[in-house]
Amino acid sequence: MLKAMLGEAWYAMGANRLRTALTMLGMVIGVGSVVLMMAIGQGAQYAVAQTISTMGSNLYILISGSTSAGGLRSGGGGGPSLNVGDAEAIAELDGVSQVAPVHQGRQQLVHGPNNWSATVVGTTPAYLDARAWTIASGHPFGDSDVRSATRVALIGQTTADNLFGAEDPVGKAIRIQQSPFVVIGVLGQKGQNLDGRDQDDTVIVPLTTAQRKIFGTPFPGSVRLIMVQASSAEAMPAVEAGMIALLRQRHRLRDGQDNDFYVRNLTAAADSAAETTRVMSVLLGAIASVSLLVGGIGIMNIMLVSVTERTREIGIRMAIGARQKDILAQFLLEALMISVAGCLIGLLLGIAGALLINTMIDMVIVISGASVLVAFGVAAGIGIFFGYYPARRAAALDPIDALRHQ
């Protein structure tokens, strides 16, 4: 029975090929648009997720407070309100996984005839763990290098390319503030952060070396910021409250007095960016779905025309024993075949368009099986939904009136 209905539906589609093609066009455009827009949206989500993963997880940044002199106020990080002792005390709190005091700034680097300006980060070995930073070649510095203020450096890939070109930097010397440093390792690539800054354009040196040889400090042990990593996302609220209470106590701040430091939740900022891309992905899919609705209306219109043209045929079928449910199933099957055929063509065009965009403008495109199944399911549902009314109208025809139809 089903085989016969499929044959009849195929014959009906072939009898009016141009009309069938134009009817399918709405579904082709709709499904292709949905697949393409969802691929772009999911690509944006993937790109943001990759950027977030390079920052490290469950991170807080404590920034030293501002200073005021002669009526001029510096921004955050301008005052010496944080120090290494604060970092050591925070490391003792429950729920804290890694703590890394940081003293950083931009400096001019020199190697042979080449020079380059990069961010120099003075910190401890825990910084690499907190930032989930790997070593591409060479080895990291250790606690002994921090205690001895050793002049060693880890450099990012961007810095390495601009100072050394194709030359292997490990074991070579660079100058920072006229002081020679030995490159002991090259950092793994991270790319841009959420602000668009190149994370690979950096040099990491022991904290004490940065304080004594590069930046200098107005007070011994003072740092510009402290990076704190919680052991889990669930522990972050308790860790934040514990840090604030501890630092207020250590800095002897009275009740009602403002903090002399700032707390930045990097995970919250990352989650906000991820949520923005998720909303964008949903909006793109919703906008493209309007085309599917238009395609469904086109199917309904053409099927109504088909019912009118084939009224006598429907009467003959009923006269020789076809039941209402057989007529209903026949026209529903035709609508479904048009919808599914248009969906398959739209899928191919959508995937091809996504791959073309990826090739031409190097945009991250993600074509997931879920988006393909959703587009296919929605298209099939639209075919049934918009094909039901014409099919029901055909099934409800009176056989005698249908036979009289000219």
The DSSP code for 295 is: H
What does each C-alpha distance from 287 to 204, 241, 265, 366, 376 come to in angstroms?
46, 43, 34, 18, 17
The DSSP code for 167 is: S
Q: How far apart are CA 24 and CA 30, in angstroms?
A: 10
What does each C-alpha distance from 314 to 307, 335, 394 come to in angstroms?
8, 16, 7
pLDDT at 102: 92
Number of C-beta neighbours around residue 149 at 10 A: 16
Task: State both tokens at 154.
Answer: 């880890």
pLDDT at 354: 81
Positions of the chain with pLDDT under 70: 1-16, 48-56, 66-79, 194-196, 218, 267-275, 277, 280-281, 284-285, 287-289, 309-310, 314, 362-363, 398-406
Task: State both tokens at 67.
Answer: 């200073």
**3-state secondary structure at position 97:** strand
Q: How far apart are CA 396 and CA 120, in angstroms?
A: 80
First to last CA, the chain: 29
Q: What is the pLDDT of residues 237-294, one digit of tens each?
A: 899 999 999 999 998 888 888 888 888 887 666 666 666 767 766 776 676 667 777 7
pLDDT at 31: 79
Q: How far apart are CA 354 and CA 35, in angstroms?
A: 8
Instruction: Dump the DSSP string for 187-238.
Output: EPP--B-TTS-BTTSEEEEEHHHIIIIII--SSTTEESEEEEEESSTTTHHH
Q: How far apart are CA 376 and CA 344, in angstroms?
A: 8
The DSSP code for 94 is: T
Q: At what angle do helices 2-15 and 17-55 cross, to 10 degrees?
A: 100
The answer to whether residues 312 and 399 touch, using CB atoms and an 8 Å cutoff, is: no
This prediction's pTM:
0.62
- Residue type, position 384, single letter: I
